[in-house]
Every structure is written in structure tokens, then in C-alpha cells.
Amino acid sequence: MKFRTILAGVASATLLATVVFAHGKATGIVKERMDGMSVMGKTIKALAPMMRGEVAYDAQAVRDGGERIGIHAGEAMTRRFPAGSGGKPSEAKDAVWESWEEFAALAEQLHTYSEGLALAADNGLMMAGGATADSSAMMGSSSAMMGGSPAMMDSAMGLEELSEMPVDGVFAMVSQTCSTCHTKFRAEAK
Ligand code: HEC
């Protein structure tokens, strides 16, 4: 089993990607996935003030951000979670491997939404005025879904619909996907 884990690590992306820890710090595939997550975290943080209308809107930055998240989502994400790569210093819960299909579906959902974010970059913000309640009404059929339980609803949303949404709506779905996955699959979820 241990040997298999090591093989899975090597097969997944990095040379020397064995699951090795030194001084309690992550290395190999675990470090790689943490780094990928951190890149996404920084991207979300950088875009959030723009989505709130606090800084000037920059469509190119949104496109780049969507693409950057996409690079670390979907299969790129799931292959960084080979079986047996849990345990310290990883914050990944055992649930990742016990409920693998759900985990993988969320990773894939993030991929779709991040692509959608890039596609919606030119649509602009729906809440230039800052009224969340009103703006969700403007979103028509998707608004009911937005207000409901995002994790379940969104799986039905395809790229075409996403590409027609206001960009901050898609952004909300992206960050909601991060939280949904962290709540279930990451210890000390933030
Ligand atoms: C499919 C599930 C899933 C999705 C989607 C997901 N994450 Fe994570 N994330 C995790 C897990 C599991 C960990 C813990 C990884 C570990 O410690 O081995 C994690 C860890 C992190 C960390 C901590 C990294 C570190 O250095 O320890 C950050 C930051 C993060 N995620 C940000 C994000 C952001 C931002 C998004 C959305 C754009 C996102 N994540 C989407 C599952 C997910």
C-alpha cells in the first residue's frame, strides 16, 4: 500500500513527488497541491475588491485570474490527491478519499466555473449600485439557484449559461465552490 502511494505520487506530476515530510513541512505532491491552492487563494483575494466595485474593473485581470484558477482545478487538482497522501502536515480530511466522487465533482465544477469566469469577464458587474438583493432578481432563472444551495444547483450550469452571467455572479459561484469543498474536505476550513 505504501509502495503504491509512492508510485501514485511519482506518476502524478512532479519528479520526486513522493510523500515525504521534513520538519513538519509539506513536500512533494502535498506541497504541490498546497502551492496550487495558494495561487488560487491569492487570485480570489486579488479579484474580490474588483467584484465589490472597490477598485476599477479590469476585464483582462479577470480573464487571467479565471485561467489561473482553471489551471489548478479539475483533473489538475484531483491528481494532486493520490490515495494515501493524507495525514500531517496535510489538512485534507479522509473524506477526500472516502467520498472521492463528490470531491472530484467539486474540483471539476471549479474548473467549469473558472472557465466561465474568464468568459464572463466582459459582461461587467451586475451590482454597480451595490444592491445584492435586487441584482439577484435581475439574473432571472439563475438567481433562484444562486440564492439556494449552491453546491447542488450549480452542477447543472454549463459554460454557455455562465458566459452570459454578470461576472460577479460567476465569481460568487467560484468562491462558493472553494468554500463548499473546504467545509467538507479540509480540516480547519476557512
Ligand atoms: C475539490 C475540493 C477543493 C476545492 C474546489 C478547493 N479546495 Fe482549497 N483545499 C482543499 C483541500 C482538501 C485542502 C487541504 C490540502 C492539504 O493540506 O493537503 C485545501 C487547501 C487550501 C488552501 C491552503 C493551502 C496551504 O498552503 O495549506 C488554500 C489557500 C485554498 N485551499 C484555497 C482554495 C481556493 C481559493 C479555492 C477556490 C478557487 C479552493 N481552495 C478550491 C480542497 C479544495
pLDDT tens track for 78-109 = 999 999 999 999 999 999 999 999 999 999 99
**Which residue type does 87 have?**
G
Identify the pLDDT of residue 132. Answer: 47
Identify the pLDDT of residue 25. Answer: 85
CB 21 within 8 A of CB 27: yes
CB 161 within 8 A of CB 142: yes
Dist. CA 167–CA 173, nearest whole Å: 10
Identify the pLDDT of residue 131. Answer: 44
Dist. CA 148–CA 184, nearest whole Å: 18
Dist. CA 60–CA 122, nearest whole Å: 9
Dist. CA 28–CA 103, nearest whole Å: 21
Hey, how many other C-beta atoms are within 10 angstroms of the C-beta on 23?
Answer: 6
Check if 171 has its Cβ closer than 6 Å to any atom of ligand 1.
Answer: no
The residues, ordered by sequence, that sit 6+ positions from 142 with a Cβ below 8 Å of its Cβ are 157, 161, 165, 169
Grid coordinates representing 164 are 452570459
Supply the residue whose CA is at minimum distance from atom 24 of ligand 1. Answer: 34
CA 179 to ligand 1 centroid distance, Å: 9
Dist. CA 81–CA 186, nearest whole Å: 12
Identify the pLDDT of residue 19. Answer: 40
pLDDT beneath 70: ranges in the chain = 1-24, 127-156, 189-190
CA 92 to ligand 1 centroid distance, Å: 9
Identify the pLDDT of residue 18. Answer: 39
| Ligand 1 nearest atom to the CA of residue 41, by list position | 35
Identify the pLDDT of residue 155. Answer: 54
The residues, ordered by sequence, that sit 6+ positions from 8 with a Cβ below 8 Å of its Cβ are 82, 83, 84, 85
Site to substitute for ligand 1 among 34, 37, 96, most atoms within 8 A of C-beta: 37
